[in-house]
Amino acid sequence: QVQLQESGPGLAKPSETLSLTCNVSGGSIRNYYWSWVRQPPGKGLEWIGYIHYSGYTSYNPSLKSRVTISIDSSKSLFSLNLTSVTAADTAVYYCARGPAQHTFFDYWGQGTLVTVSS
Amino acid sequence: DIQMTQSPSTLSASVGDRVTITCRASQTISSWLAWYQQKPGKAPKLLIYRASSLESGVPSRFSGSGSGTEFTLTISSLQPDDFATYYCQQYNSYSPFTFGPGTKVDIK
């Protein structure tokens, strides 16, 4: 059974960089598209971007200037960096798997709350 | 970007009711639509993909239909475990993936 687990600091300071990692277990990281999706408290879902195991990335244009997603296939993990964070970036961050380049998400991590506050 | 809307935003229903949620896209997305169920404090769970394909393990009381810009999720007989928030998501190839605002199904 594929499992995804997010990890990283639960608190980030304004203007700093938010960094999260997603560990993938129970299945191959190859041949899938690995996404980050976030959800502000009490609000809806926003796709941040994805990475393929080949290193190909696609980002939401609304966040593109601040987002970098990277992958370490040897360790079955991928990571999110979001720079210059503000309170508006406070959210539960999920990692998720997509079976194709233009795709739905069939496996999700449990999510991790990141609060941006000084 | 393709904007997604859902109606209603909240739906009150009883166990055994037939429930229908509508999702509309701001432009045609063919059948590139998924539905998710989310319970408080949990990650979304995939129910339906490609508008009408049932994800493995999802009860058959869930069904999806539609194409183009209008889609529906139907729960044929609402069960206690189905009280949750439901989101649609489009994955058209020429747009970032976007989600609808959600429909909360609560107990009448």
What is the predicted pLDDT for the residue at A84? 97
CB contact under 8 A, B55 and A106: yes
Q: How confident is the model at residue B52 (pLDDT cuts 50, 70, 90)?
A: very high
- Name residues of chain A where pLDDT drops below 50: none
Backbone phi, then psi, for A87, in 5-degree steps? -60, -30
What is the predicted pLDDT for the residue at B68? 97
Cβ-Cβ contacts under 8 Å, A105 against chain B: 34, 36, 44, 46, 89
Give yes or no for a contact between B89 and B33, defined as CB atoms under 8 angstroms apart.
yes
Which of A45, A61, A102 minimises the CB distance to B44?
A45
Q: What is the pLDDT of residues A22-55, one digit of tens each?
A: 999 999 999 899 999 999 999 999 999 999 989 9
> Which residue of chain A comes nearest to B50, CA vs CA?
A104
Q: Does B62 touch chain A (CB under 8 A)?
A: no
Q: What is the pLDDT of residues B66-86, one digit of tens each?
A: 999 999 999 999 999 999 999
Q: How confident is the model at residue B95 (pLDDT cuts 50, 70, 90)?
A: confident
> Which residue of chain A comes nearest to B46, CA vs CA?
A106
CB contact under 8 A, B99 and A46: yes
Backbone phi, then psi, for B87, in 5-degree steps? -120, 140
Q: What is the pLDDT of residues B9-39, one digit of tens each?
A: 999 999 999 999 999 999 999 999 999 999 9
